[in-house]
């Protein structure tokens, strides 16, 4: 194996490790939401993170966590988030783009089933991954008692 082969292999391994760190980040995000752990959630975002949630765009970790704080406090139900079908690309060194679907259930005053998609830009440095940008698109959120037909 020549020096060029070793360098190419090292680059491939680094990309695979970055992709896995980004996938682990999405799992930690779902757990932080489900447990309503705002400290854990805050640790998942870069200081200059941007969140796109519907028509709203929030800039900076403090604003992003504030958005989630308000949403979690407004919903007394218990949620479970499932994140799947990760598609990972590498737009630049130290960056990973993760496109995925999500589904969630919520129990409480309403029994809700919802789904949509995430588009995340993740920065990876020293094996640590953080969201630099997150886009949340909710396609459906419906009370299961009334259904989602016609939505």
What's the pTM value of the predicted model, to 2 decimals?
0.91
Q: What is the pLDDT of residue 149?
A: 64
List Cβ neighbours of 64 (8 Å cut-off, separation of 6 or more): 45, 49, 50, 51, 58, 134
* Dihedral of alpha carbons 102, 47, 57, 133, sign: negative
What is the spatial distance between Cα 95 and Cα 62, in angstroms, rounded to a whole number?
Answer: 22
* 151 residues of the chain, pLDDT tens digit each: 788 787 888 888 889 999 999 999 999 999 999 999 999 999 999 999 999 999 999 999 999 999 999 998 888 889 999 999 999 999 998 999 999 999 999 888 778 899 999 999 999 998 899 999 999 999 998 888 887 665 5
Q: What is the pLDDT of residue 77?
A: 84
What is the CATH number assigned to the segment(s) 3-143?
3.10.450.50
């Amino acid at each position: 194996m020549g020096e060029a082969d070793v360098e190419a292999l090292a680059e491939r391994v680094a990309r695979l490790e970055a992709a896995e760190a980004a996938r682990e980040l999405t799992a930690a995000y779902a757990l932080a939401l489900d447990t309503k752990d705002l400290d854990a959630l805050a640790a998942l975002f870069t200081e200059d993170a941007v969140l796109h949630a519907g028509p709203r765009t929030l800039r900076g970790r403090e604003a992003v966590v504030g958005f989630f704080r308000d949403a979690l406090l407004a919903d007394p139900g218990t949620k479970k988030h499932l994140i799947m079908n990760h598609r990972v690309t590498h737009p630049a060194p130290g960056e990973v783009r993760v496109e995925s679907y999500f589904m969630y259930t919520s129990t409480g005053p309403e029994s809700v089933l919802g789904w949509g998609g995430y588009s995340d830009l993740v920065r990876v440095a020293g094996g640590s991954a953080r969201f630099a940008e997150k886009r949340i698109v909710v396609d459906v959120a419906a009370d299961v008692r009334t259904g989602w037909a016609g939505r």
